[in-house]
Structure 1
Amino acid sequence: MPARRPPARSSSASRIAIPQLDWRAPEPAPVVLVSGPEEVCAERAIAALRDYLRAEDPSLEVSDIRADDYVSGTLLGVTSPSLFGEPRLVRVSGVEKATDAFLTEALGYLEHPQDGATVILRHTGASVRGKKLLDAVRAGQGNGVEVPCPAVKRDGDRFDFASGEFRTAGKRIAPAALRALVSAFADDLTELAAACQQLIADVPGDITDQIVERYYGGRVETSAFTVADTAIAGRYGEALIA
Protein backbone atom coordinates (compact mmCIF):
# COMPACT_ATOMS: atom_id res chain seq x y z
CA MET A 1 0.00 0.00 0.00
CA PRO A 2 1.32 3.49 -0.77
CA ALA A 3 2.53 5.42 2.25
CA ARG A 4 0.69 8.65 2.88
CA ARG A 5 3.03 11.55 2.26
CA PRO A 6 2.67 14.98 3.81
CA PRO A 7 1.28 17.50 1.29
CA ALA A 8 3.68 19.89 -0.37
CA ARG A 9 3.93 23.34 1.09
CA SER A 10 1.88 26.04 -0.59
CA SER A 11 3.50 28.96 -2.39
CA SER A 12 0.19 30.76 -2.91
CA ALA A 13 -0.79 34.11 -1.57
CA SER A 14 -0.35 34.58 2.17
CA ARG A 15 -4.09 34.61 2.78
CA ILE A 16 -4.17 30.96 1.67
CA ALA A 17 -2.41 29.02 4.38
CA ILE A 18 -2.98 25.51 3.04
CA PRO A 19 -1.22 23.54 0.28
CA GLN A 20 -2.51 23.91 -3.27
CA LEU A 21 -2.27 20.52 -5.00
CA ASP A 22 -2.39 19.63 -8.67
CA TRP A 23 -5.62 17.88 -9.62
CA ARG A 24 -3.62 15.09 -11.26
CA ALA A 25 -1.81 14.31 -8.03
CA PRO A 26 -4.07 15.08 -5.05
CA GLU A 27 -3.32 13.66 -1.62
CA PRO A 28 -5.73 13.10 1.24
CA ALA A 29 -6.11 15.35 4.26
CA PRO A 30 -8.80 15.68 6.94
CA VAL A 31 -10.53 18.22 4.66
CA VAL A 32 -9.98 18.52 0.90
CA LEU A 33 -11.44 21.53 -0.89
CA VAL A 34 -11.89 20.78 -4.61
CA SER A 35 -12.61 24.20 -6.06
CA GLY A 36 -13.24 25.69 -9.48
CA PRO A 37 -15.56 25.14 -12.43
CA GLU A 38 -13.75 22.46 -14.46
CA GLU A 39 -15.80 19.37 -13.73
CA VAL A 40 -13.58 16.94 -15.66
CA CYS A 41 -10.57 17.83 -13.52
CA ALA A 42 -12.61 17.81 -10.31
CA GLU A 43 -14.03 14.36 -11.04
CA ARG A 44 -10.54 13.03 -11.74
CA ALA A 45 -9.19 14.49 -8.50
CA ILE A 46 -12.02 13.08 -6.39
CA ALA A 47 -11.70 9.64 -8.00
CA ALA A 48 -7.93 9.69 -7.43
CA LEU A 49 -8.44 10.48 -3.75
CA ARG A 50 -10.89 7.60 -3.42
CA ASP A 51 -8.44 5.22 -5.11
CA TYR A 52 -5.57 6.45 -2.92
CA LEU A 53 -7.51 5.85 0.27
CA ARG A 54 -8.87 2.50 -0.89
CA ALA A 55 -5.33 1.36 -1.72
CA GLU A 56 -4.34 2.22 1.85
CA ASP A 57 -7.31 0.33 3.29
CA PRO A 58 -9.81 -1.66 1.15
CA SER A 59 -12.40 -1.39 3.94
CA LEU A 60 -12.84 2.33 3.18
CA GLU A 61 -16.42 3.51 3.71
CA VAL A 62 -17.57 6.04 1.09
CA SER A 63 -20.53 8.36 1.71
CA ASP A 64 -22.05 11.10 -0.46
CA ILE A 65 -23.77 14.24 0.82
CA ARG A 66 -25.55 16.98 -1.08
CA ALA A 67 -24.88 20.29 0.61
CA ASP A 68 -27.88 21.85 -1.16
CA ASP A 69 -30.29 19.21 0.18
CA TYR A 70 -28.78 18.66 3.58
CA VAL A 71 -30.31 16.88 6.55
CA SER A 72 -29.02 18.19 9.89
CA GLY A 73 -26.62 15.87 11.65
CA THR A 74 -25.62 13.94 8.54
CA LEU A 75 -22.01 15.17 8.38
CA LEU A 76 -21.23 14.15 11.93
CA GLY A 77 -23.03 10.86 11.46
CA VAL A 78 -21.04 9.72 8.41
CA THR A 79 -17.67 10.91 9.74
CA SER A 80 -17.98 9.36 13.21
CA PRO A 81 -15.92 6.19 13.76
CA SER A 82 -17.75 2.93 13.12
CA LEU A 83 -17.70 -0.11 15.36
CA PHE A 84 -14.75 -1.60 13.48
CA GLY A 85 -12.92 1.67 12.90
CA GLU A 86 -12.89 1.66 9.08
CA PRO A 87 -11.57 4.82 7.40
CA ARG A 88 -14.27 7.09 5.98
CA LEU A 89 -14.42 9.16 2.83
CA VAL A 90 -17.22 11.72 2.62
CA ARG A 91 -17.83 13.44 -0.73
CA VAL A 92 -19.86 16.63 -0.40
CA SER A 93 -21.27 18.12 -3.62
CA GLY A 94 -23.03 21.41 -4.24
CA VAL A 95 -21.22 23.47 -1.61
CA GLU A 96 -21.79 26.55 -3.80
CA LYS A 97 -25.53 26.01 -3.12
CA ALA A 98 -25.26 24.79 0.47
CA THR A 99 -28.03 25.20 3.00
CA ASP A 100 -27.51 27.22 6.14
CA ALA A 101 -27.64 24.00 8.17
CA PHE A 102 -24.77 22.46 6.23
CA LEU A 103 -22.61 25.57 6.41
CA THR A 104 -23.12 25.84 10.17
CA GLU A 105 -22.27 22.19 10.78
CA ALA A 106 -19.33 22.21 8.36
CA LEU A 107 -17.80 25.22 10.09
CA GLY A 108 -18.20 23.41 13.39
CA TYR A 109 -16.64 20.28 11.92
CA LEU A 110 -13.49 22.20 10.94
CA GLU A 111 -12.83 22.82 14.62
CA HIS A 112 -12.85 19.10 15.43
CA PRO A 113 -12.28 16.90 12.37
CA GLN A 114 -12.91 13.20 13.02
CA ASP A 115 -9.91 10.86 13.12
CA GLY A 116 -9.80 8.53 10.13
CA ALA A 117 -12.17 10.65 8.05
CA THR A 118 -11.47 12.51 4.82
CA VAL A 119 -14.09 15.09 3.85
CA ILE A 120 -14.08 16.39 0.26
CA LEU A 121 -15.87 19.69 -0.26
CA ARG A 122 -16.74 20.33 -3.92
CA HIS A 123 -17.33 24.02 -4.70
CA THR A 124 -17.63 25.02 -8.36
CA GLY A 125 -17.22 28.72 -7.74
CA ALA A 126 -20.54 29.37 -9.47
CA SER A 127 -21.60 31.59 -6.56
CA VAL A 128 -20.19 33.21 -3.44
CA ARG A 129 -22.37 30.95 -1.32
CA GLY A 130 -20.22 29.21 1.28
CA LYS A 131 -17.45 31.82 1.13
CA LYS A 132 -17.08 31.84 4.92
CA LEU A 133 -16.52 28.08 4.87
CA LEU A 134 -14.00 28.29 2.04
CA ASP A 135 -12.14 31.11 3.76
CA ALA A 136 -11.95 29.06 6.96
CA VAL A 137 -10.57 26.02 5.12
CA ARG A 138 -8.04 28.15 3.26
CA ALA A 139 -6.97 29.81 6.50
CA GLY A 140 -5.96 26.40 7.84
CA GLN A 141 -8.95 25.35 9.93
CA GLY A 142 -9.42 21.60 9.68
CA ASN A 143 -5.84 20.94 8.50
CA GLY A 144 -7.00 20.83 4.91
CA VAL A 145 -5.60 21.10 1.40
CA GLU A 146 -7.06 22.65 -1.76
CA VAL A 147 -7.21 21.16 -5.25
CA PRO A 148 -7.95 24.02 -7.67
CA CYS A 149 -9.72 23.08 -10.91
CA PRO A 150 -9.77 26.30 -12.97
CA ALA A 151 -11.64 26.47 -16.26
CA VAL A 152 -9.82 25.08 -19.31
CA LYS A 153 -10.74 27.60 -22.00
CA ARG A 154 -7.65 28.74 -23.91
CA ASP A 155 -5.95 26.68 -26.61
CA GLY A 156 -2.81 26.55 -24.51
CA ASP A 157 -4.76 25.15 -21.56
CA ARG A 158 -6.28 22.43 -23.74
CA PHE A 159 -2.86 21.50 -25.12
CA ASP A 160 -1.50 21.29 -21.57
CA PHE A 161 -4.46 19.14 -20.53
CA ALA A 162 -4.11 16.71 -23.42
CA SER A 163 -0.33 16.42 -23.21
CA GLY A 164 -0.70 15.78 -19.48
CA GLU A 165 -3.06 12.89 -20.22
CA PHE A 166 -0.44 11.16 -22.34
CA ARG A 167 2.47 12.07 -20.07
CA THR A 168 0.68 10.65 -17.04
CA ALA A 169 0.05 7.41 -18.95
CA GLY A 170 3.68 7.21 -20.08
CA LYS A 171 2.58 7.45 -23.73
CA ARG A 172 4.32 9.51 -26.42
CA ILE A 173 2.30 11.52 -28.92
CA ALA A 174 3.73 13.44 -31.85
CA PRO A 175 3.29 17.24 -31.66
CA ALA A 176 1.30 17.26 -34.90
CA ALA A 177 -0.94 14.49 -33.56
CA LEU A 178 -1.52 16.40 -30.33
CA ARG A 179 -2.48 19.54 -32.23
CA ALA A 180 -4.87 17.61 -34.45
CA LEU A 181 -6.48 15.92 -31.48
CA VAL A 182 -6.98 19.17 -29.57
CA SER A 183 -8.35 20.81 -32.72
CA ALA A 184 -10.87 18.00 -33.15
CA PHE A 185 -12.31 18.49 -29.65
CA ALA A 186 -11.69 22.18 -29.07
CA ASP A 187 -15.21 22.81 -27.75
CA ASP A 188 -15.63 19.92 -25.32
CA LEU A 189 -13.07 19.01 -22.67
CA THR A 190 -15.01 15.91 -21.65
CA GLU A 191 -14.82 14.55 -25.19
CA LEU A 192 -11.15 15.50 -25.45
CA ALA A 193 -10.40 13.62 -22.25
CA ALA A 194 -12.31 10.58 -23.52
CA ALA A 195 -10.46 10.69 -26.85
CA CYS A 196 -7.10 10.83 -25.09
CA GLN A 197 -8.01 7.85 -22.93
CA GLN A 198 -9.23 5.88 -25.94
CA LEU A 199 -5.93 6.39 -27.77
CA ILE A 200 -3.97 5.51 -24.65
CA ALA A 201 -5.95 2.29 -24.26
CA ASP A 202 -6.07 1.27 -27.93
CA VAL A 203 -2.67 2.21 -29.36
CA PRO A 204 0.26 0.06 -28.17
CA GLY A 205 3.06 2.33 -29.40
CA ASP A 206 3.61 6.01 -30.05
CA ILE A 207 0.66 8.03 -31.32
CA THR A 208 1.18 9.68 -34.70
CA ASP A 209 -0.88 12.17 -36.65
CA GLN A 210 -1.90 9.32 -38.97
CA ILE A 211 -3.42 7.47 -36.02
CA VAL A 212 -5.34 10.54 -34.88
CA GLU A 213 -6.53 11.03 -38.46
CA ARG A 214 -7.72 7.42 -38.59
CA TYR A 215 -9.65 7.70 -35.31
CA TYR A 216 -10.98 11.24 -35.50
CA GLY A 217 -10.34 12.43 -39.05
CA GLY A 218 -13.96 13.40 -39.53
CA ARG A 219 -13.63 15.98 -36.77
CA VAL A 220 -10.18 17.38 -37.58
CA GLU A 221 -10.25 20.61 -39.56
CA THR A 222 -7.28 21.80 -41.56
CA SER A 223 -5.40 24.51 -39.67
CA ALA A 224 -2.28 26.56 -40.09
CA PHE A 225 -0.54 24.05 -37.82
CA THR A 226 -1.43 21.21 -40.19
CA VAL A 227 -0.13 23.10 -43.21
CA ALA A 228 3.10 24.01 -41.43
CA ASP A 229 3.71 20.48 -40.18
CA THR A 230 3.16 19.05 -43.66
CA ALA A 231 5.48 21.60 -45.26
CA ILE A 232 8.22 21.02 -42.67
CA ALA A 233 7.99 17.30 -43.39
CA GLY A 234 8.74 18.08 -47.06
CA ARG A 235 5.30 17.13 -48.35
CA TYR A 236 4.83 20.39 -50.23
CA GLY A 237 2.09 19.15 -52.54
CA GLU A 238 -0.03 18.03 -49.57
CA ALA A 239 0.65 21.32 -47.83
CA LEU A 240 -0.51 23.27 -50.89
CA ILE A 241 -3.71 21.18 -51.12
CA ALA A 242 -4.38 21.70 -47.38
Structure 2
Amino acid sequence: MASRTQPPARQQAPAAVTLVVGEEEFLVDRAVRERIAAARAAAGDDGGDLHDVEASTLTPGELATLTSPSLFGGGAIVIVRDAQHAGKEIAADLARYATSPPPDATLVITHAGGAKGKALVGDLTKAGASVTECPKLTRPSERAEFVRNEFRRAGRQADEGAMRALLDAVGTDLRELASAVGQLASDTEGKITASVVARYYR
Protein backbone atom coordinates (compact mmCIF):
# COMPACT_ATOMS: atom_id res chain seq x y z
CA MET A 1 0.00 0.00 0.00
CA ALA A 2 1.37 3.40 -0.95
CA SER A 3 2.25 5.76 1.85
CA ARG A 4 -0.16 8.63 2.33
CA THR A 5 2.82 10.91 2.90
CA GLN A 6 4.02 10.55 -0.68
CA PRO A 7 3.70 13.76 -2.71
CA PRO A 8 1.33 13.69 -5.67
CA ALA A 9 2.98 12.63 -8.91
CA ARG A 10 3.62 15.32 -11.46
CA GLN A 11 1.82 15.10 -14.74
CA GLN A 12 3.74 13.41 -17.53
CA ALA A 13 6.06 15.87 -19.22
CA PRO A 14 5.14 16.87 -22.77
CA ALA A 15 7.51 16.18 -25.64
CA ALA A 16 10.64 18.30 -25.41
CA VAL A 17 10.18 19.39 -29.03
CA THR A 18 6.80 19.68 -30.73
CA LEU A 19 6.30 20.55 -34.39
CA VAL A 20 2.88 21.96 -35.27
CA VAL A 21 2.37 21.73 -39.02
CA GLY A 22 -0.43 23.33 -41.01
CA GLU A 23 -2.24 26.52 -41.96
CA GLU A 24 -5.44 26.17 -39.92
CA GLU A 25 -4.83 29.09 -37.58
CA PHE A 26 -7.32 28.12 -34.89
CA LEU A 27 -5.96 24.56 -34.62
CA VAL A 28 -2.35 25.79 -34.61
CA ASP A 29 -3.08 28.29 -31.83
CA ARG A 30 -4.89 25.65 -29.80
CA ALA A 31 -2.02 23.16 -30.21
CA VAL A 32 0.50 25.76 -29.05
CA ARG A 33 -1.64 26.72 -26.03
CA GLU A 34 -2.04 23.06 -25.06
CA ARG A 35 1.73 22.47 -25.20
CA ILE A 36 2.35 25.51 -23.02
CA ALA A 37 -0.26 24.34 -20.50
CA ALA A 38 1.18 20.81 -20.48
CA ALA A 39 4.71 22.10 -19.89
CA ARG A 40 3.57 24.25 -16.99
CA ALA A 41 1.50 21.46 -15.48
CA ALA A 42 4.44 19.04 -15.70
CA ALA A 43 6.79 21.57 -14.12
CA GLY A 44 4.46 22.04 -11.17
CA ASP A 45 4.95 25.80 -11.25
CA ASP A 46 4.83 28.56 -13.85
CA GLY A 47 6.98 26.44 -16.17
CA GLY A 48 9.80 28.99 -16.33
CA ASP A 49 10.30 31.75 -18.87
CA LEU A 50 8.04 31.89 -21.93
CA HIS A 51 9.51 33.20 -25.18
CA ASP A 52 7.36 33.60 -28.29
CA VAL A 53 9.40 34.51 -31.37
CA GLU A 54 9.24 34.50 -35.15
CA ALA A 55 11.72 32.18 -36.85
CA SER A 56 12.66 34.95 -39.27
CA THR A 57 13.87 37.15 -36.39
CA LEU A 58 16.09 34.56 -34.69
CA THR A 59 19.85 34.98 -34.92
CA PRO A 60 22.41 32.14 -34.91
CA GLY A 61 22.93 30.84 -31.38
CA GLU A 62 19.92 32.67 -29.96
CA LEU A 63 17.92 29.46 -29.56
CA ALA A 64 20.46 28.15 -27.05
CA THR A 65 20.09 31.35 -25.01
CA LEU A 66 16.29 31.25 -25.05
CA THR A 67 16.15 27.60 -23.93
CA SER A 68 18.64 28.07 -21.09
CA PRO A 69 17.30 27.69 -17.52
CA SER A 70 16.00 30.85 -15.85
CA LEU A 71 18.26 32.69 -13.41
CA PHE A 72 15.52 32.13 -10.83
CA GLY A 73 15.25 28.41 -11.51
CA GLY A 74 12.92 26.46 -13.75
CA GLY A 75 13.14 25.69 -17.42
CA ALA A 76 12.02 27.61 -20.44
CA ILE A 77 9.15 27.36 -22.91
CA VAL A 78 10.05 28.63 -26.36
CA ILE A 79 7.60 29.07 -29.23
CA VAL A 80 9.20 29.52 -32.66
CA ARG A 81 6.57 30.53 -35.20
CA ASP A 82 6.52 30.24 -38.99
CA ALA A 83 9.61 28.06 -39.24
CA GLN A 84 9.17 27.95 -43.01
CA HIS A 85 10.75 31.44 -43.00
CA ALA A 86 13.83 30.35 -41.05
CA GLY A 87 17.17 30.97 -42.74
CA LYS A 88 19.59 28.10 -43.29
CA GLU A 89 21.55 28.71 -40.11
CA ILE A 90 18.43 28.94 -37.96
CA ALA A 91 16.93 25.84 -39.57
CA ALA A 92 20.16 24.02 -38.80
CA ASP A 93 20.03 25.27 -35.18
CA LEU A 94 16.45 23.99 -34.79
CA ALA A 95 17.23 20.59 -36.30
CA ARG A 96 20.40 20.23 -34.21
CA TYR A 97 18.53 21.23 -31.04
CA ALA A 98 15.83 18.60 -31.68
CA THR A 99 18.38 15.79 -31.77
CA SER A 100 19.41 16.44 -28.17
CA PRO A 101 17.06 18.84 -26.36
CA PRO A 102 17.92 19.88 -22.79
CA PRO A 103 15.71 18.33 -20.10
CA ASP A 104 14.32 21.55 -18.64
CA ALA A 105 13.07 23.25 -21.81
CA THR A 106 10.04 22.87 -24.04
CA LEU A 107 10.30 23.95 -27.67
CA VAL A 108 7.22 24.33 -29.89
CA ILE A 109 7.80 25.07 -33.57
CA THR A 110 5.05 26.05 -36.00
CA HIS A 111 5.37 25.51 -39.75
CA ALA A 112 2.82 26.26 -42.49
CA GLY A 113 3.48 22.87 -44.08
CA GLY A 114 3.99 23.95 -47.67
CA ALA A 115 6.99 23.44 -49.92
CA LYS A 116 8.94 26.32 -48.39
CA GLY A 117 11.19 25.03 -45.63
CA LYS A 118 9.96 21.48 -46.17
CA ALA A 119 13.39 20.01 -45.44
CA LEU A 120 13.21 21.34 -41.89
CA VAL A 121 9.98 19.42 -41.27
CA GLY A 122 11.73 16.24 -42.35
CA ASP A 123 14.80 16.98 -40.22
CA LEU A 124 12.74 17.70 -37.11
CA THR A 125 10.62 14.59 -37.61
CA LYS A 126 13.72 12.41 -38.02
CA ALA A 127 15.17 13.95 -34.87
CA GLY A 128 12.15 12.70 -32.90
CA ALA A 129 10.02 15.84 -32.59
CA SER A 130 6.37 15.18 -31.76
CA VAL A 131 4.28 16.25 -34.77
CA THR A 132 0.77 17.74 -34.65
CA GLU A 133 -0.97 18.17 -38.00
CA CYS A 134 -3.27 21.18 -38.45
CA PRO A 135 -4.22 21.18 -42.15
CA LYS A 136 -6.79 23.55 -43.60
CA LEU A 137 -10.30 22.14 -43.29
CA THR A 138 -11.89 22.99 -46.63
CA ARG A 139 -14.40 20.20 -47.27
CA PRO A 140 -17.84 20.16 -45.63
CA SER A 141 -17.13 16.65 -44.34
CA GLU A 142 -13.94 17.87 -42.62
CA ARG A 143 -15.75 20.72 -40.89
CA ALA A 144 -18.51 18.34 -39.82
CA GLU A 145 -15.88 16.05 -38.32
CA PHE A 146 -14.36 19.04 -36.54
CA VAL A 147 -17.74 19.89 -34.95
CA ARG A 148 -18.23 16.25 -34.00
CA ASN A 149 -14.83 16.20 -32.28
CA GLU A 150 -15.57 19.48 -30.50
CA PHE A 151 -18.66 17.95 -28.92
CA ARG A 152 -16.55 14.96 -27.87
CA ARG A 153 -13.96 17.29 -26.31
CA ALA A 154 -16.80 18.91 -24.37
CA GLY A 155 -18.03 15.52 -23.23
CA ARG A 156 -21.39 15.95 -24.92
CA GLN A 157 -23.46 13.96 -27.41
CA ALA A 158 -24.91 15.61 -30.51
CA ASP A 159 -26.74 13.98 -33.38
CA GLU A 160 -26.02 14.53 -37.05
CA GLY A 161 -28.92 16.95 -37.38
CA ALA A 162 -27.45 19.15 -34.66
CA MET A 163 -24.11 19.28 -36.40
CA ARG A 164 -25.67 20.18 -39.75
CA ALA A 165 -27.83 22.84 -38.10
CA LEU A 166 -24.82 24.35 -36.34
CA LEU A 167 -22.78 24.48 -39.54
CA ASP A 168 -25.70 26.10 -41.37
CA ALA A 169 -26.23 28.67 -38.62
CA VAL A 170 -22.65 29.57 -37.70
CA GLY A 171 -20.73 29.05 -40.95
CA THR A 172 -17.25 27.71 -41.59
CA ASP A 173 -15.02 29.66 -39.19
CA LEU A 174 -13.54 27.10 -36.78
CA ARG A 175 -13.09 29.56 -33.94
CA GLU A 176 -16.77 30.53 -34.09
CA LEU A 177 -17.83 26.89 -34.38
CA ALA A 178 -15.75 25.92 -31.35
CA SER A 179 -17.24 28.82 -29.38
CA ALA A 180 -20.76 27.79 -30.40
CA VAL A 181 -20.15 24.19 -29.33
CA GLY A 182 -18.78 25.43 -26.00
CA GLN A 183 -21.87 27.55 -25.42
CA LEU A 184 -24.26 24.73 -26.27
CA ALA A 185 -22.32 22.32 -24.08
CA SER A 186 -22.44 24.64 -21.07
CA ASP A 187 -26.00 25.94 -21.47
CA THR A 188 -27.92 22.75 -22.30
CA GLU A 189 -28.51 19.32 -20.87
CA GLY A 190 -29.06 15.96 -22.51
CA LYS A 191 -28.39 15.08 -26.12
CA ILE A 192 -28.00 18.08 -28.40
CA THR A 193 -30.31 17.96 -31.41
CA ALA A 194 -31.18 20.23 -34.32
CA SER A 195 -34.08 21.69 -32.35
CA VAL A 196 -31.73 22.59 -29.48
CA VAL A 197 -29.42 24.35 -31.93
CA ALA A 198 -32.38 26.15 -33.49
CA ARG A 199 -33.34 27.67 -30.14
CA TYR A 200 -29.93 29.37 -29.97
CA TYR A 201 -29.39 30.17 -33.63
CA ARG A 202 -32.58 31.17 -35.36
Match runs of 1:8-157 below 5 Å = 28-56=14-42, 57-61=44-48, 62-125=50-113, 127-139=114-126, 141=127, 143-157=128-142
> Counterpart in 1 of 2:196?
211
**Counterpart secondary structure, 2:15:** coil
Q: What secondary structure sits across from 1:59 in the alignment?
A: coil
Q: Which stretch shifts more, 70-79 or 152-161?
A: 70-79
TM value normalised by structure 1: 0.72
Per-residue CA deviation, residues 156-188 of structure 1 (Å, 9 max, x unaligned), is: 111111111111111122321111002223432
Letter in 2 for 1:135: G
Q: 5 Å matches for 1:184-199?
A: 184-199=169-184
2:155 is the counterpart of 1:170: yes
Q: Which has the larger radius of gyration?
A: 1
Q: CA deviation at 1:101?
A: 4.0
Could you say what secondary structure the match of 1:156 adopts? Answer: helix
**Distance in 2 of aligned mates of 1:191 and 1:210:** 20
Question: Residue 144 of structure 1 aligns to which amino acid in structure 2?
Answer: A
Which amino acid in structure 1 is aligned with residue 158 of structure 2?
I
AA in 2 matched with 1:130: G
Task: Normalising by structure 2, report the TM-score.
Answer: 0.84
Give the equivalent residue in structure 1 for 2:6: none
Q: Is the 8 A contact 1:96 1:129 kept in 2?
A: yes
Q: Over residues 41-88 of structure 1, what are the superposed CA-to-partner deviations in whole Å (9 max), with x where a residue is unaligned?
A: 111111111111222222302211110222343211110123444132
Cα contact 1:60–1:89 (8 A) shared by 2: yes
Q: State the AA in 2 paired with 1:59.
A: D
Q: Tell me, which stretches of 5 or more residues in structure 1 are unaligned?
A: 6-27, 218-242
Per-residue CA deviations over 1:85-140 (Å, capped at 9, x if unaligned) read 41321111111222344223223323432221111110012x4332222111111x
Show the counterpart of 2:4. Answer: none
Unmatched runs of 5 consecutive residues or more in structure 2: 1-8
SS of 2:38's equivalent in the other structure is helix
Query: Contact (CA 8 Å) 2:22, 2:111: kept in 1 or not?
Result: yes
Residues 1:182 and 1:111: Cα distance change in structure 2 (over 3 Å): same
Matched residue type, 2:152: R
Identity among equivalent pairs (%): 34
User: How many aligned residue pairs are there?
Assistant: 192
Q: Is the 8 A contact 2:68 2:75 kept in 1?
A: no
CA RMSD in angstroms, aligned pairs only? 2.0
Structure 2 CA distance, aligned partners of 1:31 and 1:52? 12
* 3-state SS in 1 of match to 2:101: coil
- Corresponding residue SS for 1:113: coil
Q: Secondary structure at the match of 1:47?
A: helix
Q: Is this contact kept in 2: 1:34–1:123, CA < 8 A?
A: yes
